[in-house]
Amino acid sequence: MKNNLQKYLEKQVLQFGANFKQVCRDSDADAVHDMRVAVKRLRALEVLAGKVAQNQIDPEASGELRHLFKLSGRIRDMQVQQQLLDLMAAKLNTSFGELAAYLKNSENKSISKFSEFTGKHSDTDFTGNLVKEIERIFNTAADSDLTSGVKSVVAEIIETVRLMKTDQKHEEYLHEIRRKLKQYNYLLSVYDKQSSDYPELLSTLQHLEKANNLLGEWHDLDVGREILLKFLGNKTGSSFTSYNRYMLLLETIASEKQRLHLAIIELLEKELGI
């Protein structure tokens, strides 16, 4: 387990570094996504390290990385929403030029804020302290403790998701379920393929991937709804000639969100047993 975790950590650091540099150069959409995935995986390792060390991990180690993740999230949202809007426009056989311009402007502003924060910093300025903390804990822990730690964290994630899933009246829980299931997915990924547990884990990973894809679609629609409501603001049918088209878009998003919500709950119950 220790060797697998070390290799996984090193891979995420390299992934973050390469994509961070690409994002700083041109804010490439794929690079933004891949950089954020690397951060999520590093944070999953941080959760594991905290469990193994009984929370004796410096809480400030990932402070600036968390802020960078938040700023890049805004860029990612705007880039995804532009793609989603194109799909919605094609589906509804119409156009939403005003919202498209609004999204592009918001993306540019988000890129400026990201660039201002990162400045002349290197990638290791954001990951260095966290990586040292994780390595310190992993290097001093027994292999059996690391394996137990992964199983313990995964068990806690499953229980948290199960409790959240019972309250289907509060959709905001789906955001947290999505975050927890991603951590579950990342931690299971460190298992050795030669392990006797791997065939069962592989099946679980495949179901998790499906669940995470559905949750990702739901999340994008939820973000789109919030942005659309903000865009409409005080606009009314009398002051905004395209108002009816945007209300149709809002209704379509709501309908698709509900469909995905039901599909996600069904998948959690039938395929993941949660």
Q: How far apart are CA 115 and CA 23, in angstroms?
A: 9
Six token digits for residue 131:
């990586």
In one-letter notation, the amino acid at residue 205 is L
Per-residue confidence (pLDDT) for residue 102, from 0 to 100: 97
Contact between 188 and 195 under an 8 Å Cβ cutoff? The reply is no
What's the Cα-to-Cα distance from 179 to each of 31, 144, 185, rounded to whole Å? 20, 26, 10
Q: How far apart are CA 111 and CA 71, in angstroms?
A: 8
Q: How far apart are CA 105 and CA 86, in angstroms?
A: 16
Per-residue confidence (pLDDT) for residue 65, from 0 to 100: 93
pLDDT digits (tens, 9 = 90+) for 98-143: 999 999 999 999 999 999 999 989 999 999 999 999 999 999 999 8
pLDDT digits (tens, 9 = 90+) for 11-52: 999 999 999 999 999 999 999 999 999 999 999 999 999 999
Structure letter (DSSP) for residue 170: -
Q: Looking at domain 2-270, which of 3.40.50.9100, 1.10.3720.10, 1.10.1040.10, 1.40.20.10 is its CATH number?
A: 1.40.20.10
In terms of Cβ atoms closer than 10 Å to its own Cβ (0-12, 13-18, 19+), residue 30 is: exposed
pTM of the model: 0.90
Q: What are phi and psi of 241, to 5 degrees?
A: -65, -20
Per-residue confidence (pLDDT) for residue 176, from 0 to 100: 86
56 compared with 137, residue with greater pLDDT: 137
The CA-to-CA distance between both ends of the chain, in Å, stands at 26
Q: Where are the domains of the chain?
A: 2-270
Q: What is the mean pLDDT of the chain?
A: 90
Six token digits for residue 39:
């951060």
Contact between 72 and 32 under an 8 Å Cβ cutoff? The reply is yes
Among 3-17, 132-146, 164-178, 238-252, the range scoring the smallest mean pLDDT is 164-178
